[in-house]
């Protein structure tokens, strides 16, 4: 399935791809090409368990349905599958390795079908995009100037997911996705974003179909920035969500975890427990009360995404 959709999207298969497929068909090994130093790996997203729930919910597509991922200090990636009602379940085997030197992990949907196709990371100042099941690909240099880089879905209003980046002066920049991992030039969104210690978002929370972002300030107040769909001014003025969010050392969104079409928020406390805040589709009260979805050990991940 993945190969045919890739073919449809580009209209043509590269010679390398044809060669790879041919090699696979005749059962030869490609081990000879793997003689270089080991590169980071990430598994494809085709999984048997829960696949029907994934695809049904993804069709709605205003809030993507993705695995929640964690990368630990050994560079190993574990995936957690949404299994209904907001619960998550770790896959039996690790889904990636070799990610010791990357940061700012963020999933992204390239074709607007409501599920991520790969992920962005920053490695020694280089932005890379790694298709799930593929190898890291260089996208651009100079990304060391940013202290926060993530994709909050298609904040620019197009089909592909876009990328937000905050520089050390607190200016937030918008890069629009071309649908193949590459990005446009950057657009200045606004300043003052260094007021926040956490920024998260992956799809629509407010109920208008446009992806939103939440940000936590130093006093523990969480703020909602409603998406506008305009790539030059992608967010409306902030509105206050609530206080007390300094309890958490990580606040992230992987999209919709309970298959209701609204993006949810996940927060990790100091004891390593994981909490789910379900999106309500309402800008005034965007989230329900929290539910514990992970009892302990989540502080073993250096990043969640």
Site of interaction with Ca ion (CB under 5 A)? 109, 111, 113, 115, 117, 204, 206, 208, 210, 212, 227, 256, 258, 260, 262, 264, 279
Q: Which is nearer to Ca ion, 198 or 206 (CB)?
A: 206
Q: In 3-state terms, what secondary structure has residue 51?
A: helix
Closest to 98 measured CA to CA, from 138, 139, 38: 38
Strand order in the sheet with 196-200: 196-200, 213-217, 222-225, 239-242
Min. distance of Cβ 73 from Ca ion in angstroms?
29
Closer by beta carbon to Ca ion, 70 or else 279 = 279
CB 172 within 8 A of CB 164: yes
**88: which 2 tokens?**
């998550």
Residue placing its CB nearer to Ca ion in the complex, 119 or 221: 119
- Give the CA count within 13 Å in the CB-facing half-sphere of 301: 27
Query: CB neighbours (10 Å) of residue 68?
Result: 25
User: Which residues have a Cβ under 8 Å from the Cβ of 53 and sit 6 or more positions away?
Assistant: 65, 82, 83, 84, 259
Q: What is the closest distance, in whole angstroms, from the C-beta atom of residue 256 to Ca ion in the complex?
A: 4
CB contact at 8 A, 226 and 248: no
In whole angstroms, the minimum distance from the beta carbon of 139 to Ca ion comes to 17
Q: Which residues contact 269 (CB under 8 A, 6 or more apart)?
A: 247, 248, 249, 275
Going by C-alpha positions, the residue among 304, 266, 260, 298 that lies closest to residue 282 is 260
Nearer to Ca ion, 6 or 302 (CB): 6
When the beta carbons of 50 and 98 are compared against Ca ion, the nearer one is 50
Taking the least distance from each CB to Ca ion, the nearer of 121 and 206 is 206
Q: Which is nearer to Ca ion, 234 or 279 (CB)?
A: 279
Measured at the CA of 54, the angle between CA 48 and CA 56, to 5 degrees, comes to: 120
Residue nearest to Ca ion (CB): 206
Closest contact distance (angstroms) between CB of 225 and Ca ion is 9
Distance of closest approach, residue 254 Cβ to Ca ion, in angstroms: 11
């Amino acid at each position: 399935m993945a190969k045919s959709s890739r073919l449809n999207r580009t209209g043509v298969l590269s010679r390398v791809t044809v060669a790879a497929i041919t090699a696979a068909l005749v059962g030869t090994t490609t081990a000879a090409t793997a003689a270089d130093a080991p590169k980071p790996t990430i598994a494809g997203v085709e999984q048997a368990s829960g696949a029907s729930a994934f695809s049904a919910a993804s069709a709605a597509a205003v809030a993507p349905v993705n695995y929640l991922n964690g990368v630990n200090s050994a560079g190993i990636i574990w995936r957690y599958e949404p299994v209904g009602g907001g619960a998550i379940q770790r896959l039996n085997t690790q889904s990636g390795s070799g990610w010791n030197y990357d940061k700012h992990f963020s999933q992204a949907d390239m074709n607007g079908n409501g599920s991520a196709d790969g992920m962005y990371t920053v490695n020694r100042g280089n932005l890379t995009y790694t298709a799930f099941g593929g190898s890291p690909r260089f996208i651009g240099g100079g990304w060391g100037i940013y202290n926060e880089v993530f994709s909050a879905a298609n904040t620019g209003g197009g089909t592909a997911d876009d990328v937000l980046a905050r520089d050390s002066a607190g200016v937030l920049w918008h890069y629009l996705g071309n649908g193949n991992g590459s990005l446009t030039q950057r657009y200045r969104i606004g300043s003052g974003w260094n007021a926040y210690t956490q920024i998260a978002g992956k799809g629509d929370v407010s109920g208008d179909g446009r992806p939103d972002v939440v940000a936590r300030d130093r006093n523990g107040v969480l703020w909602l920035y409603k998406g506008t769909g305009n790539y030059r001014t992608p967010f409306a003025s902030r509105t206050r969500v609530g206080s007390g969010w300094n309890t958490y050392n990580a606040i992230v969104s992987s999209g919709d975890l309970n298959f209701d079409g609204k993006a949810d928020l996940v927060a990790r406390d100091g004891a390593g427990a994981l909490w789910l805040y379900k999106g309500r589709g309402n800008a005034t009260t965007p989230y329900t009360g929290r539910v514990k979805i992970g009892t302990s050990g989540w502080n073993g991940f250096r990043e969640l995404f």
